[in-house]
Structure 1
Amino acid sequence: MNLGIKGKKALITGGSRGLGLASAVSLAKEGVDVAICARDKSDLENAKKTLSKYPVKICTINFDLSDNKKLESLVQETEKQLGSIDILVNNVGGSLGTSSLIENDLEDFQKVMELNTWSAIELTKSILPKMIHSKWGRIINIASIYGREYGGSAPYMAAKAALIAATKHTALDIAKTGVTANCIAPGSIKHTKGSWEKFVLNNSKKDVETFIQNNLPMGKFGFPEAIGDTVSFLASKNASMILGTCLNVDGGQSSNLF
């Protein structure tokens, strides 16, 4: 299937491993020039090696998205190396070791919101005007099923729910511009250095098997490539009528009816 995005330019945050790298690989396979950013230089180098097999431009940027005041410099560096950004994948996120509203203070909530929500909003605000001017663009935000139902920590749930809501509102605001905005809500996706890999390593085999039996209808954890391919589809010309939605990619894990 020709997704019609060859030659487009994409920026993927948290793109050095896991869901971000899978998204970068999937887009690169479609002929998209890719910029990825991450904090870990070693992970970035490994990701660059993985992406270098594809005949597209690859840009790696060492960047910490928790510092929202410097996000404009990330956009400028991406545009300097690739040109105007057509596809923005806001993937960076995490619970930062938080737990509950009772046990965490407002500063903890703020840190999680900055990482998961404010960075995505600020990058979108920076890039969106040029997308609107060119009458084409794709904003794809990686949320979580825990932004739609109970699970994870209270700050993480709140941050992902806010991201889903902001995406919906933005999508309707720009509905006539040729730019789309959507979310993907992954379930329990296992990958190197990810939270679910840590869960497997830090718990007994019996406890892991019990979790899988009780929560994962497919009998296994999800895999990053499923998220990456969903990103490519939402970025494609074939998804032009998908606007303001949040797609669960969770192997049936979510308990939501709708």
Structure 2
Amino acid sequence: MTERTAIVTGAARGIGAAIARRLAADGLAVAVVDLEESACASTVEEIVDAGGKAAAIGADVSDEQAVARAVAAVAERLGAPTVLVNNAGIIRDDLMFKMTVEDWDTVMNVHLRGAFLMSRAAQQYMVQAGFGRIVNLSSTSALGSRGQVNYSAAKAGLQGFTKTLAIELGKFGITANAIAPGFIETEMTRATAQRMGVEWEDFRSAVIARIPVGRSGLPEDVAHTASFLVSEAAGFVSGQVIYVAGGPTT
């Protein structure tokens, strides 16, 4: 691959960190973006220790000015970003009748507003380069998930956002795709078990029993898919939602 710069949001841990490590191993310079720059240190250190190139960037992806500063900083420190992975996300789970407007807005702002702001800021570099890859992290929760009306709506919204980006940006050599993970072992899925009042191992075993491949997903499973979607070889794949869930979804 031609030397390129990638931005991965929410990359301090979990799926984002795994994607950042994988893209660095693929030869990309990686901007590791999270709310606090200090939280990105371990991911950056892992990449650098493995011989890769990375920089930590602190930014609230829901803040327009913070995003503009962050993307400009990436261009200055690592080079023009032509790969963007919108992974930043949070959960504020509750049943709809108990959910606060604040919890609704917070989830929407990080997932949807954040992906919009980051994509808008980065696409100018992609257009100039005549090459771009945008990958948005959706979820099987987009199909509906009890106690996650905000998260489900945001993740479904990202799928429509992705398809529209593919239509608008395709003529500039830019593709846009979404990855919709199923059950992936992360801090977020552990938090879901806690919310439900279920012991982690019991929760994990119950979910695995319904997964055709017979195991839970790991952040690296998502990272492998992202690696392909941002590659030059994936230039004819755009506007797609790829479910990384160990089996078919409905």
Higher helix share: 2
Aligned twin of 1:120? 115
TM-score with structure 2 length normalisation? Answer: 0.91
| Alpha-carbon offset, residue 126 of structure 1 | 1.1
Match for 1:162 among 151, 157, 163?
Answer: 157
SS of the aligned residue for 1:174 comes to helix
Q: Residue 173 of structure 1 aligns with which residue?
A: 168
Stretches of structure 1 that go unaligned for 5 or more consecutive residues are none
Instruction: Tell me, yes or no, if structure 1 residue 246 matches structure 2 residue 244.
Output: no
Q: Which residue of 2 aligns with 1:134?
A: 129
Query: Once the 2 structures are TM-superposed, how far is the Cα of residue 21 of structure 1 from its aligned partner?
Result: 0.9
Q: Which runs of 5+ in 2 are unaligned?
A: none
Deviations 1:194-228 (A, max 9, x none): 12234567633445423332x32233220011111
Aligned partners of 2:21, 2:220: CA distance in 1, in Å? 9
Q: Which residue of 2 aligns with 1:32?
A: 28
2:169 and 2:68 mapped to 1: Cα distance?
21
Equivalent pairs: percent with the same residue? 30
- Counterpart of 1:195? 188
Between stretches 135-144 and 202-211, larger displacement belongs to 202-211
Distance 2:146 2:137 in 1: 16
Secondary structure at the aligned position of 1:79 is classed as: helix
Equivalent position amino acid for 2:126 in 1: M
Q: Which has the higher contact order (CA 8 A, sep 6+)?
A: 1
Say which is worse superposed, 22-31 or 36-45, in terms of deviation: 36-45
Distance in 1 between the 2:50 and 2:4 partners? Answer: 14
Over the aligned positions, Cα root-mean-square deviation in angstroms equals: 1.9
Match of 2:89?
93
**Across the two proteins, how many residue pairs are aligned to each other?**
247
1:150 and 1:138, CA in 2 relative to 1: closer, same or farther beyond 3 A? same
